[in-house]
Amino acid sequence: MNLSNQRVKDVGEQGLLKILKRYCPQEIVGDDAAVLSIREGRCLVVTTDVLVDGVHFSDRTTAPEDVGWRAVAANLSDLAAMGADALGITVGLALPGEVAVNWVERVYQGMNDCLQKYDSVIYGGDVCRSSVMTVSITALGEVMPERVIRRNMAQPGDAIVITGYHGCSRGGLELLLQPEKGAHLTPQGREGLIQAHQRPNPRLDVLAPLWEVSNGRVGGMDSSDGLADAIVQICEVSGVGAYLEYDKIPIAPQLKLLGSFEEILDWVLYGGEDFELVLSLPYESAEALVKRLGEGAAIIGEIISSKTIELLDSQGVYPKRVLSLSAGFQHF
Amino acid sequence: MNLSNQRVKDVGEQGLLKILKRYCPQEIVGDDAAVLSIREGRCLVVTTDVLVDGVHFSDRTTAPEDVGWRAVAANLSDLAAMGADALGITVGLALPGEVAVNWVERVYQGMNDCLQKYDSVIYGGDVCRSSVMTVSITALGEVMPERVIRRNMAQPGDAIVITGYHGCSRGGLELLLQPEKGAHLTPQGREGLIQAHQRPNPRLDVLAPLWEVSNGRVGGMDSSDGLADAIVQICEVSGVGAYLEYDKIPIAPQLKLLGSFEEILDWVLYGGEDFELVLSLPYESAEALVKRLGEGAAIIGEIISSKTIELLDSQGVYPKRVLSLSAGFQHF
């Protein structure tokens, strides 16, 4: 095949990112955000996300406040994934002239609602005309150099920690698309899942307890593209593997009522947009962290030197599964 | 009229920006970029630009390397306009799956060509699917707090300095659209104008000589949206006016050959995308700066307390013109 004739859709998002990384300094790419030294004892962390109407949100099914909240949450989650506290964001907005000014204001209101929760602000941005609404956010954060969390820092013997439930955002989406599926849920259970989808919380709150229980190496990233994706990415760049255990992955009680075990497990592993952190750290710190975080947080497995990534059942009820990145190859 | 029914096209780019500024901290919006204190003696400067295929560039008439160069140049120009040196950029790319990977790589190559000239790099970014190609760039820079250049710092009695010729980018575009118009030009003259359009140079190089000749207040911005636009914006936010003189505005010799005086003057005032700086500072520093910068740089007028902005002819040949922002109300 002639490489020069390749289209973006032939190489996919991951393939294109790999090619474009050649144009960036090698020491600062490959994580959720770039880390820049700005002064003795402090690094600046910067991350960019682009959201497109009809791909990442729809102004027909999502309230504008929620579009804004989720866009900000995704970016702040990338900062949390690097161990960084949020400073602020810039917003680049491309939109058709037909869009109501009020719609745009409500998006900004949702952005500010999320930012205020984390003592953060909008620094400014740009607006321009386009036939497709596109929201591009760049978030800035700050971290001490010894507290940067990187994907490539997992080591065999590490515990794999998740900071909360997975699959709830996907469950909330299901309830929005097919409300009748929630017939068995309490109103609070239903609302909880819908909130998980519409108003996800980036886990910047995890950083303080994390550094209270750990003073050493912590690897990891966020689970915005799914729990399985995060584990596969961490293992790939760290040159390691992992095993997970079925019965150690916590599943939110209300989520279990939404479908078969197989269906729910698929949402938990591949649903995405839960914006939890997936961390790799020594067992002692991991256990102390999970205790601090409470419900939904858990040690779900261990990093191993063999490069396989498997989901096992010590009870022998469920079949062994091998996790892979294939589900992530879908953005084009 | 019911405000809640307003569309984006009803309020225009400036109107929408004014509304959205309400959602940002008041002390950091209103300039080419936001300025953040990060440490004793240093401020971080951050700016975002969104470019849309068919609005800001066309992959049918512009080489991909030039799309990349110009996108970076526009952002670095915003940094220069704040007095800041460039650190690096992030790139958010939304594009159709049908786009050739090679096209994207050539855009990145053009970005890096421009960045390298200013010791700057791509920090990373995001790619995603969209039906419309959109390039969103966020640039980071650094400046000492006492050297921040702001739009609202013009004072009556200041000289108004431009750092180079205006209208050349517009002239280059004309030559690309109607090559026959360049029949009277030398090959170098033609190439110079086309380069001004395809490979504009952000004036980061002006900052060192500027601070060699000035140790006080400097106001201003860049002329990316046109020379007239820059002067009107500076006057509006500084609460002042200005007079300019026809025969003090330098016009590039090769540009004069492209049309009538009226047509060329229109390009000089409203053409845009020359990415020069328009500065407001005391006469003594202004004169020393112009001498350092050489050809194309000039003192073109003076800031006055009366809030009118007029273009005058001391020879009495050309009629008085009043400058206004109306030509800028076109982005939606």
Contact between residue B113 and residue B69 where contact means Cβ atoms under 8 Å apart: yes
Model confidence at A172, in pLDDT bands (50, 70, 90)?
very high
Beta bridge partners of A159: A281, A302
The shortest CB-CB distance from A138 to any of B7, B10, B138 is to B138
A197 and A273 together in one domain: yes
- How far apart are alpha carbons B66 and B194 in whole angstroms? 11
B171 and B295 together in one domain: yes
In a domain, A136, yes or no: yes
Tell me the count of A-B CB pairs closer than 8 A: 254
CB contact under 8 A, A124 and B13: no
Model confidence at B30, in pLDDT bands (50, 70, 90)?
low
Sheet (strand B34-39) strand order: B34-39, B42-52, B134-143, B85-95, B121-129
For the stretch B147-204, pLDDT in tens is 999 999 999 999 999 999 999 999 999 999 999 999 989 999 999 999 999 999 999 9
B281 and B295 together in one domain: yes
B192 and B51 together in one domain: no
A178 and A270 together in one domain: yes
Between positions 29 and 88 of B, the ones with CB within 8 A of A are 29, 33-34, 36, 38-39, 42, 44, 46-52, 55-56, 87-88
In a domain, A69, yes or no: yes
CB contact under 8 A, B128 and A56: yes
A58 and A109 together in one domain: yes
CB atoms within 10 A of CB B261: 12
> Is residue A266 pLDDT above 80, yes or no?
yes
Model confidence at A42, in pLDDT bands (50, 70, 90)?
confident
A246 and A138 together in one domain: no
Question: What is the model's pLDDT at position A6?
Answer: 85
Q: By percentage, how much of chain B surpasses pLDDT 90?
A: 70
CB contact A237 to B (< 8 Å): no
The alpha carbon of residue A283 is apart from the nearest alpha carbon of chain B, in Å, by 33
Which is nearest to A291 in space by CA: A96, A155, A184, A161? A161
The shortest CB-CB distance from B99 to any of A7, A17, A134 is to A7
- How far apart are alpha carbons B226 and B326 in whole angstroms? 12
Paired tokens of B307: 């809030």
Question: What is the model's pLDDT at position B13?
Answer: 74
Final residue in a domain of this structure, among A91, A113, A146: A146
B99 and B177 together in one domain: no
Report the pLDDT averaged over residues B60-71: 88
Rounded to the nearest 5°, which phi and psi values hold at A83?
A: 85, 15
CB contact under 8 A, B132 and A131: yes
Range of the domain at A43: 24-146
Report the pLDDT averaged over residues B47-60: 84
Contact between residue B94 and residue A50 where contact means Cβ atoms under 8 Å apart: yes
Final residue in a domain of this structure, among A126, A146, A166: A146
The alpha carbon of residue B13 is apart from the nearest alpha carbon of chain A, in Å, by 7
The alpha carbon of residue B296 is apart from the nearest alpha carbon of chain A, in Å, by 30
CB contact under 8 A, B130 and A127: no
Residue with tokens 């991951």, as numbered in its chain:
A14
CB contact under 8 A, A136 and B140: no
Ligand-binding site membership of A151 (annotated): yes
Contact between residue B279 and residue B203 where contact means Cβ atoms under 8 Å apart: no
> Is residue A118 pLDDT above 90, yes or no?
yes
CB contact A91 to B (< 8 Å): yes
Number of folded domains in chain A? Answer: 2
In a domain, A13, yes or no: no
In a domain, A317, yes or no: yes
Rounded to the nearest 5°, which phi and psi values hold at B31?
A: -115, -175
- How far apart are alpha carbons B47 and B141 in whole angstroms? 9
> Is residue B82 pLDDT above 50, yes or no?
yes
The shortest CB-CB distance from B55 to any of A38, A39, A128 is to A128
Final residue in a domain of this structure, among B100, B124, B146: B146
CB contact B11 to A (< 8 Å): yes
- How far apart are alpha carbons A127 and A152 in whole angstroms? 37
Beta bridge partners of A53: A57
Question: What is the model's pLDDT at position A59?
Answer: 67
The alpha carbon of residue B3 is apart from the nearest alpha carbon of chain A, in Å, by 9
Contact between residue A81 and residue A149 where contact means Cβ atoms under 8 Å apart: yes
The CATH number of residue A271's host domain is 3.90.650.10
Per-chain mean pLDDT for chain A: 90
Rg (CA), chain B: 20
Which is nearest to B241 in space by CA: B165, B323, B119? B323
CB contact B148 to A (< 8 Å): no
In a domain, B113, yes or no: yes
Which is nearest to A303 in space by CA: A205, A250, A235? A235
For the stretch B269-310, pLDDT in tens is 999 999 999 999 999 999 999 999 989 999 999 999 999 999
Q: By percentage, how much of chain A surpasses pLDDT 90?
A: 70
B229 and B286 together in one domain: yes
In a domain, B18, yes or no: no
CB contact under 8 A, A126 and B49: yes
In a domain, B7, yes or no: no
Rounded to the nearest 5°, which phi and psi values hold at A304?
A: -125, 160
The alpha carbon of residue A262 is apart from the nearest alpha carbon of chain B, in Å, by 30
A287 and A175 together in one domain: yes
The alpha carbon of residue B181 is apart from the nearest alpha carbon of chain A, in Å, by 31
In a domain, A2, yes or no: no
A309 and A160 together in one domain: yes
Contact between residue B221 and residue B288 where contact means Cβ atoms under 8 Å apart: no
Task: Classify B313 as helix, strand or coil.
Answer: coil
Ligand-binding site membership of A329 (annotated): yes
Model confidence at A330, in pLDDT bands (50, 70, 90)?
very low
Chain A neighbors of B20, CB-CB under 8 A: 104-105, 108, 125, 127
Give the helix/strand (H/E) hosting B298: strand B298-304
User: Distance from CA of residue B40 to its chain's centroid?
Assistant: 30
Paired tokens of A186: 């309490």
Model confidence at B42, in pLDDT bands (50, 70, 90)?
confident
Contact between residue A43 and residue A143 where contact means Cβ atoms under 8 Å apart: yes
Report the pLDDT averaged over residues A244-260: 95
Which among A130-139, A200-209, A211-220, A306-315 has the top mean pLDDT? A200-209
CB atoms within 10 A of CB B70: 25
- How far apart are alpha carbons A135 and A69 in whole angstroms? 12
B227 and B247 together in one domain: yes
> Is residue A84 pLDDT above 50, yes or no?
yes
Question: What is the model's pLDDT at position B329?
Answer: 43
Task: Report which of residues B164 and B56 the model is more confident about.
Answer: B164
CB contact under 8 A, A36 and B88: yes
Model confidence at B62, in pLDDT bands (50, 70, 90)?
confident
- How far apart are alpha carbons A197 and A215 in whole angstroms? 33
CB contact A98 to B (< 8 Å): yes
Sequence-distant (6+) residues with CB within 8 A of B304 are B156, B240, B241, B242, B243
Say how many CA atoms lie within 13 Å of B232 toward its Cβ.
Answer: 18
CB contact under 8 A, A49 and B126: yes
Residue with tokens 């800031």, as numbered in its chain:
B303
Q: Which amino acid is at B181?
A: K
The CATH number of residue A107's host domain is 3.30.1330.10
The shortest CB-CB distance from A140 to any of B7, B16, B46 is to B46
CB contact B251 to A (< 8 Å): no
Chain B neighbors of A48, CB-CB under 8 A: 90-92, 124-126, 136, 138
